[in-house]
Amino acid sequence: MLVDYTLELEDLFAPRGILYSIVGLGIFAIVADYVRMLVLRSRLPPGPFPWPIVGNTFQLPDVKPWITFDIWARELQTPIVTVWIGRNPTLWLNESWAAADLLEKRANVYSSRPRQVRRPMVVFGELGTGDNNLVTMKYGDRWRLHRKLTHHGVGVQAVKGYSNLQELESRRVVADVLNDPAEYVMHFERYAASVVSIIGFGRRINSFKDPIITEVIAAMHLAAALNVPGKSFPMLLETFPFLSYFPRRLAPWMRGMSRRRSSRGFFFFLAKEAAETSPNPCFAQHLFEAGPNHQLNDEEISGLAGNLFGAGSDTTSSSLISFVLAICAFPSVSAQAWEELRRVVGEDRSPTLDDQDSLPYIRAVVAETLRWRPVAVIGGQPHAPIEDDVYNGYHIPKGTWVQANLWGIHRNSTDFPSPDKFKPERYLAENRLPYPHRQGYSSFGFGRRVCSGQALAEQGLFITIARLLWAFDIKKALDEDGKEIDVDINSYTNGLNMRPTEFPCRFIPRSAKVQETILREGAEALDELQVYEGETKYRASDFWGKK
């Protein structure tokens, strides 16, 4: 018997025995972890059944997962659906009231980010800006400082001082659309980028061929696609975080990603140049004046300057494109808007911000634009509780990825009957339904992580949409036979910040008198904006590469 026992030990430590042992331990670890997932799943809000290791990752569609989250929530009859990204649960809020309960009423718990608590947020956290950027920074004193500095640039009080600037640039963009309607998308991008460039760096952007348009905004569109949960790289790194530790040269999935970050990026040098040379007061000057007092490092300055640009440019231009799409698809809105504008404003001048109180239907058009197709369709970056929490009997572990699905929230038929229809009248006082936010939409996020550029974007959208509706009867394009070309209200890009795919349309001046006013006011605006003309020696492609 002793001999047999010895042979068994020898077999155990033989190469084949070691392999069997490793395989056995691996299977045990997978089973144990899967049991952990299933036990935790029993305490979480309902969701699709997860697989071991990969969770629900490979059950997600190739594009637009927010639509699937909404479908799952409706099928399971739950405002919150749990989706497992790898071995970790993520909670998707598909109803405004649940989102408000967690992200606003419990903001002291739900204002941090997943990577800073317990569970990884790899792409935008570990491989991104981490604790040097307001967007990905954990909630705390440093975050509050960055928020305070940002409010100096685009807070509610600061934005009031930009009304004349936005008035001038909106007059200019209407004249640009009149002169070159085929390039209306690029005119919108130039307009929105120019406003924030003046605020941030003291110089305007006078052409949509400026590198800040052709390079920076293009890069922002690419970056937006990185934050969409999915089953392809780079977001597959959220399912398999260990893959992020492979050297870039050996791992094709790590191209463009790195754990090493340069502290002096494009926006740092853009801000430094403006602080040293701009004759106009700007946010960059404030950053470099405040920097030594708050021990801001170069990457923090870069992040604050870049966030200002991102918060005010892409949101505004993308919303304007959605507005044009909506007017083409629902032409009766244009007629109602023109009736109000002709009665209140007339044809000798365009509307101004001072007309807001007298233009309730135009205000409703702006609100419906933000509700109908929110730009940040999944509500920006995820929130995470800093401690275990319980909501409606469900256990939400500390550090869980919690995100608002604005696609589902804004299409909830209880809050918004016939949600796919563009109906500004739903925002008129006599028709308003209860909603947790006073404005009646949640396009800029929730709680303490709400977008810092909200006030700037809302003010800019009102004046620009009002002027476009006053200036033009916006209609579908015509084909070679003179028939209208249909537009697809669901043809949108697949990214964190979504916008309609390209579509042609017509901008028909309301009258000869209106056209004359457009040209006069556009020329006057250009004269007043001359003080902001200038150039920068920096190019984003020198920092980020030519692609």
Yes or no: say if 81 and 73 are a contact pair by the CB < 8 Å rule: yes
Q: What is the C-alpha separation between 266 and 388, in angstroms, rounded?
A: 39
User: End-to-end alpha-carbon separation of the chain, Å?
Assistant: 71
Q: Measure the CA–CA gap between 275 and 273, rounded to whole angstroms.
A: 6
d(CA 7, CA 51): 39
Around Cβ 53, how many Cβ atoms within 10 Å? 15
Q: Is 451 labeled as ligand-binding?
A: yes
Contact of 218 with 535, CB cutoff 8 Å:
no
Question: Any residues with CB less than 8 A from the CB of 278 and at least 6 apart, and which?
Answer: 201, 202, 203, 284, 285, 534
The two tokens of residue 299 are 């990457």
> How big is the CA angle at 231 (ends 29 and 135), to the nearest 5 degrees?
95
Long-range (24+ apart) CB contacts under 8 A made by 239-242 are 239/54, 239/55, 239/57, 239/85, 239/86, 240/86, 241/86, 241/120, 241/122, 241/126
Cα 90 vs. chain centroid, distance in angstroms? 19
Cβ atoms of residues 114 and 381 within 8 Å: no
C-alpha 147/C-alpha 448 separation (Å) is 9
The whole-angstrom separation of Cα 367 and Cα 38 is: 42
**What backbone phi and psi angles, to 5 degrees, belong to 91?**
-105, 130
Sheet holding 401-404, edge to edge: 80-85, 88-93, 401-404
Per-residue b/e over 241-257, b at no fewer than 16 CB within 10 Å? beebeeeeeeeebbeeb
Helices 184-201, 283-294: crossing angle, 10 deg rounding: 40
HSE (side-chain half, CA atoms, 13 Å) at 263? 6
H/E element, 252: none
What is the per-residue DSSP string for 352-389? -GGGGGG-HHHHHHHHHHHHHS-SBTT-SSPBB-SS-E
- The label of the residue with tokens 């293009």 reads 218
User: Which residue numbers belong to the known binding site for heme?
Assistant: 451
- Residue positions forming the annotated binding site: 451
